[in-house]
Amino acid sequence: MVAIEVRICFLAWICLVSPLLADESGLIRSRQSGRWSAASTWEMGAIPSAEARVLVRSDHVVLYDLQSDQVIRSIHVSGTLRFITDQNTRLDVGLIKIQPGDDASENGFDCDDHPTIPSPNQPVPVLEVGSAERPIEAGKTSLIRLVALKGMNPDSCPAIVCCGGRMDFYGASMSRSWVKLGNDPKPGDTVVHLAEPVTGWREGDRILVTAATNRVRKQGETLRPGVGSLRCFTEERFIRSIDGTKLTLDRPLAETHSMPEGLRGEIANLSRNVIIESADASQGRGHTMYHRHSAGSIGYAEFRHLGKEGVKGRYPIHFHLVGQTMRGSSVIGASVWDSGNRWITIHGTNQLVVRDCVGYQSVGHGFFLEDGTETLNVLDRNLAVQSYAGKRLPHQALAFDDNSGAGFWWANSLNTFTRNVAVECDRYGFRYEAILSPADDLRKQVLLTNRSRETVDIRTLPFVKFLDNEAHAQLYGIDLGEGTNGVGPDRDHPFELLNTRLWDCSWAFRTDVPNLLVDGLSIDRCRYGVSHAREGFRAYRNTTIRRCYLAGAIPPLDASADEKLFKRDDSSPNTIVTFVASPKKGERLIRGTSADNGEIRRVLVNGCEARAIAPGLTEWEITIDEPQDGMISAGAEDMAGNIEADQHRICVGIPSTK
């Protein structure tokens, strides 16, 4: 009898542990929805411990609710992993992969691994660290630390990778993540003033006060700490107290951050309460990546000590060859700093909104549009500070790019650049570069403003809009088309720069493109004003060049310029819905962004006219009745009568009749 009882107990034990014994790697699967900290959530009745490999199954919702320094090896999310929003959380992990199915392997970093469209009948896997409607609460912190672990590919891990799922990071919002200085602080000052009030800034936050002095570099010199010997004039401090527009700093400033006649630097906040960081950058930096057919957005999150130096495709925030499949996604109010490889990379991606972000210290170009197929993206009100010169990446998309340190870099101009500022980058504030060479074919299939896809020489495409941009404390303020061999848009669709401000640069404005329309250009305290002007039709209106060693040659500033060059508005607007609220009392709040090469007359959402929340309907919102057919359709019309060819359509589901 004793032998029989022992055998029965042994068989019962085998049944209990067989899920774990069947997987030699020790994969721990969720058993049901529940809290991460609840043993009942997991098979075997024990929460995942150090070095665990975890699978959140497709029909389960697991709520992460721990502050733990135990390192989880990997988490494969095929269901939902949601961080609790009203308490502090911490997760140390080697890899998080958000992907349908139960493949818990440690690969999946190449887009070619995910060529198929996810089935509409299959649940969408979700990683949610706050949401647009319910961000991580102010005063609480969600921290994900990416840990380099033995046995993982050091070129790809640690990482967070979204492959056909949804990945959201939303911290407590700010009215602005950076603003202009409101006074002229001097060395020794511990008080600075903001040019406008802000909300969401807190005592203890890390801030930047940007440079107002340009140090001329010699060949090979860099601002990069530990590599270059040049002195930097941007300063980091912490907020000791905040009272309206008055900030008291933790210690005095050492530099001057303004120049006479209202030329002032910026003050930026780097701190957020959702943080993704490398646990130990010296052992291995992490990265994040969205693949094709993914979804999700980033709002007021901090990405620090990320980006793998010298490794292609491993950036702090990376939209990788997603095409139009992520229309509606956005990066708003993010802070990306101390990066070994870019800040935000937009690669083979269309109709993405990047707004009010701060990039500080990157190896290589900061806000980076990678291969020249990127069109109809909106980069609005971003601040780029100290992008450093790096080396060419192995097998990089465009061989001619020497990665010399630009705040904003692109090879296809058919995008929107508005209200951005670049400061104290190693070489360029804004750099448009497209050089024909045996290694680079500049004829690419791209999405145009009429929403057709055509194969064109990308050098012939103008801006959607380049408005209210600024560069200071730079080597080159704007280098527009050096190396393009005079190929550019035709005279009916010129490069148009509106209300551009360049000051304290060595070379303010290099113009190597034909057919150029400049309206509202201010150049002040630069060594060289306008240089390298190409032959072609040009017009400069409302242009002021002051206190420059050489102003440069520009055409006469008279009305005849309008006869030589004019702009034909035959492009339709581009609308991106960035927020759809859950239904409330039979209504939905919807917000979005619209861009156009002219002025937008109106934006219609399901036939109703939206209201502007920023000048010119570039940002708008509307509350509409819950659509009976479950569809939201948004599009714009411009002042020239062009109506959006491809409205943004979103299925929100048919309301229940119960």
Model confidence pLDDT, tens digit, residues 450-507: 889 999 999 999 999 999 999 999 999 999 999 998 899 998 899 999 999 999 999 9
* Residue 119 in this model has a pLDDT that exceeds 80: no
The length of the chain is 658
Please give the pLDDT value at position 537. 80
Is there a contact between 644 and 571 (Cβ–Cβ < 8 Å)? no
Across 513-527, 554-568, 571-585, 635-649, least confident range: 554-568
Q: CA 455 to CA 458: how far, in whole Å?
A: 9
Give whole-number Cα distances, 497 to 58, 379, 395, 444, 637, in Å: 49, 15, 33, 24, 22
Q: What is the DSSP letter of 626?
A: P
Token pair belonging to 223: 């601002």
Please give the pLDDT value at position 344. 98
The mean pLDDT value for 56-84 works out to: 97
Q: CA 285 to CA 486: how far, in whole Å?
A: 41
Please give the pLDDT value at position 497. 96
Please give the pLDDT value at position 4. 40
Is there a contact between 94 and 70 (Cβ–Cβ < 8 Å)? no
What pTM, to 2 d.p., does this model score? Answer: 0.94
Q: CA 274 to CA 538: how far, in whole Å?
A: 47
Across 72-81, 378-387, 417-426, 554-563, least confident range: 554-563
- In percent, the amount of the chain with pLDDT more than 90 equals 79
Q: What is the average pLDDT value for the chain, to the nearest integer?
A: 91
The mean pLDDT value for 155-178 works out to: 97
Please give the pLDDT value at position 655. 66
**R_g over Cα of the chain:** 26
23 alpha carbon, distance to own chain's centre: 39
Is there a contact between 340 and 311 (Cβ–Cβ < 8 Å)? no
Please give the pLDDT value at position 536. 72
Task: Name which of 508, 588, 495 is nearest 551 in CA terms.
Answer: 508
* Residue 306 in this model has a pLDDT that exceeds 90: yes
* Residue 272 in this model has a pLDDT that exceeds 50: yes
The tens digit of pLDDT for each residue in 12-29 reads 333 334 333 334 458 999
- The confidence band for 6, taking pLDDT boundaries of 50, 70 and 90, is very low
Compute how many other C-beta atoms are within 10 angstroms of the C-beta atom of residue 638: 21
Compute how many other C-beta atoms are within 10 angstroms of the C-beta atom of residue 506: 16
Compute how many other C-beta atoms are within 10 angstroms of the C-beta atom of residue 39: 12
The tens digit of pLDDT for each residue in 415-451 reads 999 999 999 999 999 999 999 988 889 999 999 998 8
Please give the pLDDT value at position 551. 74
CA count, 13 A, side-chain hemisphere, 569 = 15
Is there a contact between 597 and 618 (Cβ–Cβ < 8 Å)? no
Please give the pLDDT value at position 19. 38
Please give the pLDDT value at position 249. 98
Q: What is the DSSP letter of 5?
A: H
Task: Name which of 538, 535, 541, 540 is nearest 564 in CA terms.
Answer: 538
The mean pLDDT value for 557-566 works out to: 50
Q: Which residues are paired to 161 by β-bridges?
A: 97, 289
Token pair belonging to 517: 């329309």
The tens digit of pLDDT for each residue in 312-356 reads 999 999 999 999 999 999 999 999 999 999 999 999 999 999 999
Is there a contact between 542 and 597 (Cβ–Cβ < 8 Å)? no
Characterize the bridge pairing of strands 600-605 and 631-638. antiparallel
Sequence-separated contacts (24+) of 17-26 with Cβ below 8 Å: 17/44, 19/43, 19/44, 20/44, 25/53, 26/51, 26/52, 26/53
Q: CA 403 to CA 506: how far, in whole Å?
A: 19
The alpha carbon dihedral of 426, 427, 429, 430 has a sign of negative
